[in-house]
Amino acid sequence: MKFVDEFRDPEMARALLDKIHAIVAEIPKCQDKPLQIMEVCGGHTHSIFRYGLEALLPKQIELVHGPGCPVCVLPMGRVDDCVAIAEQTDVIFTTFGDAMRVPGSRKSLQQAKAEGCDVRMVYSPMDALQLARQHPDKRVVFFGLGFETTMPSTALTLLQAEKEGIDNFYLFCNHITIIPTIKAILDSPDMYIDGFLGPGHVSMVIGQAPYEFISSQYNRPLVVAGFEPLDVLQSLYMLLLQIRDGEARIENQYKRIVPEGGNSQALQALAQVFELREFFEWRGLGSIDHSGVQLRQAYARYDAEKQFVVPNLKIADPKSCQCGEVLKGVLKPWECKVFGKQCTPEVPLGALMVSTEGACSAYYSYGKIDAANI
Amino acid sequence: MCLGIPGRIIEILDEENALAMVDISGVKRQVNLGCVMPDAAASTLIGRWTLVHVGFAMSLIDEDEAQKTLQILAELGELQEELAAMQASQTD
Ligand code: SF4
C-alpha cells in the first residue's frame, strides 16, 4: 500500500481498505468473477488513476470507467458542426478549452483557429456573453457542453442575454443528461454493472430522487460519491455492504455537498430553458434516447442549430479507435490497439485521450502507478 | 470544467443580476450567484465559501470543505488548470 501514505489521512485509508478487503470475502458471487463497479463521472476516473486506487483494491473488484466525461463522448460529427459554424462569416466561436483539441473528421477547433477562424477559449458562458456585448457586429456562439453540472450556467447565461436584449448571442447546445445514459448502460447486453459510484456534482444539481429507478427497476445500488480518495473508498465500501446484504438502495456519501433535493434554483432555470431531445448521438455509445437537451421553442432565436447552417452529419470513428468499447468498459484503455502509439494526449486520435477526465488520458498519465498490477 | 473550484465571496457587484466578486486561490473573478441566492439580501453571503463551476456558484460550502477540496484539486492538477483557464479566458 505504498501510495496510501500520500493520502491526507493514511490511517483512515488503510482502515477502509482493510474493511474492503474483508468484506469481498463475504460476497460469494465475486470469488470467480470480479464485481463490476462503474464510476459514472470522469472526475472519479481522474481521482482513481491519480491515487492508484485500482492497485489497492482486491482483485474481486473491477472498476469500470463510465461515460461521464462530456468531452470524451463528443462524436466527430459534432466537432465538424462546431468547425462549420466557426467558419461562417462574422462569427466568434467560444468554447471551454477542453473541447479545443477533440478531433473532428476534417479538423479540430484548434486547427480551425490556427487556420484563421475566430475561435476563443472561455472559462465561462458568461465570458461568451461578455464578448457578445463587446462585439455587437459579430455573432457570438457558445458551445454548451456538459452534464447537469454545467447546464445551469448555460441556462442562466441565456436568461441573462434575454433580459438584456442581447441578440447576437447563440448557443450550440450539446448538453447531455445523466439519467438516460445510466439507463442505457443498464439495458446494454454487453455489460453487467453490479453497482454505481454516482456523480457528485451532477447530483448536487439534480439531487437523489432521479436515481431511484436504478434500485427500484434494476435492483442495483448507487452511492453518490465525493472525489477525494477517501470519499471513493468509503463509497465503495458502502456499495459493497449493500451488495453483501443483497440490497439495492440509493445512498449519498457526499452529503456535505449534495442535498437530497438538489439545487432548486438551478433546476428551475433548466426547466425554463431546456427540453429533452428525442435522441442524441454519443461517441462510441451510439444514439441514446432522451439523452440530450435542446433549447425550448421560446428560445429558438438563440439556438445555433436553427440560426446557422449546421451539417449535422454522422461520422464514424476511425476504424482503429476503440473508444466505444473503452467507454462501455468492455476494453481497458491499454487494450485499445492504438493506445500510447498513434493515440497519445499530445496527438489524440480518440476523445478519451483528450481530457484528463478521459480514461485513456488518465491511464496514460498515471498508468505507471498501476502498470505493475496489470 | 466538471469539478468545481472553491472560492470566497468578497463583494456583491450587482444584486439584481446576482453578480459577485469571488476570490479563487488569489484570483479575483466575477461569479454568478443565481443558484445560491438567499431569501435575505445577497450581502449576507459575503465571506462565505462557494463551489464555483464555470463561473457560477453552485453550492455554499464550509471553510474546512473548501480547504480540503483545494488540496485535492491541486493534487489532481485541476486547480492549476482551472486557474489558468480563468486567466486565459478571452473576453475582449
Ligand atoms: S487509446 Fe485513443 S482511440 Fe483507443 S480508446 Fe483510447 S482514446 Fe480511443
A 128-147 residues with CB < 8 A to B: 130-131, 134, 145-147
Q: Which residue has the higher pLDDT, B79 or A112?
A: A112
Indicate the residue of A68, A123, A228 with minimum beta-carbon distance to B55. A123
Round the average pLDDT of chain B to a whole number and report it: 91
CATH top-level class of A76-176+292-307? alpha beta
Q: Where are the domains of chain A?
A: 4-68+179-238+246-252, 76-176+292-307, 323-363
Cβ of A8 and B71 within 8 Å?
yes
**What pLDDT is stored for residue B1 in this prediction?**
62
Query: Which pLDDT score, from 0 to 100, does residue A4 have?
Result: 72
* A135, A169, B13, B83 alpha-carbon torsion, rounded to 10°: -90
Pocket residue to mutate for ligand 1, from A69, A338, A341, A346, most atoms within 8 A of Cβ: A338
pLDDT at residue A319, as a whole number: 83
Residues of A in contact with B77 (CB under 8 A): 50, 356
Which residues of chain B neighbour A121 with C-beta distances below 8 Å? 85, 88-90
At A267-283, the pLDDT tens digits run: 999 999 999 999 998 88
What's the pLDDT score for residue B2?
66
Hey, is A16 helix, strand or coil? helix
Q: Give A186-224 pLDDT, tens digit per residue.
A: 998 878 899 999 999 999 999 999 999 999 999 999 999
Structurally, what CATH architecture does the domain formed by A4-68+179-238+246-252 represent? Answer: 3-Layer(aba) Sandwich (3.40)
Instruction: Phi first, then psi: give them for residue B55, nearest 5 degrees.
Output: 85, 10
The alpha carbon of residue A102 is apart from the nearest alpha carbon of chain B, in Å, by 15
Contact between residue B36 and residue B60 where contact means Cβ atoms under 8 Å apart: yes
Complex ipTM: 0.92
Domains A4-68+179-238+246-252 and A76-176+292-307 share a fold: yes
pTM: 0.91
Q: Give the closest residue to A117 by CA, choosing from A90, A80, A95, A144.
A: A90
pLDDT of A369 reads 43
Q: How far is A172 from A179, CA to CA, in rounded Å?
A: 22
Neighbours of A114 (CB within 10 A): 11
Q: Which residue has a Cα nearest atom 6 of ligand 1?
A: A360
C-alpha cell at A273: 430553458
Taking the Cβ of residue A257 and every Cβ of chain B, the question of whether any pair is shorter than 8 Å is answered with yes
| Cβ of A333 less than 6 Å from ligand 1 | yes
Q: How many CB atoms lie within 10 A of CB B76?
A: 22
* A13 inside 8 A of chain B by CB: no
Between B47 and B76, whose confidence is greater?
A: B47
What pLDDT digit, counting tens, does each position of B54-64 carry?
Answer: 999 999 999 99
pLDDT along chain A (374 residues), means of 10: 69 94 95 93 87 92 85 87 96 94 91 97 96 97 94 97 97 94 87 93 95 97 94 96 97 93 96 95 84 96 95 83 82 90 87 83 72 40
What is the overall mean pLDDT for chain A? 91
According to DSSP, the β-strands at A119-121 and A139-146 are unpaired
- Residue contact A125–B55, C-beta within 8 A: yes
Q: What is the pLDDT of residue B59?
A: 94
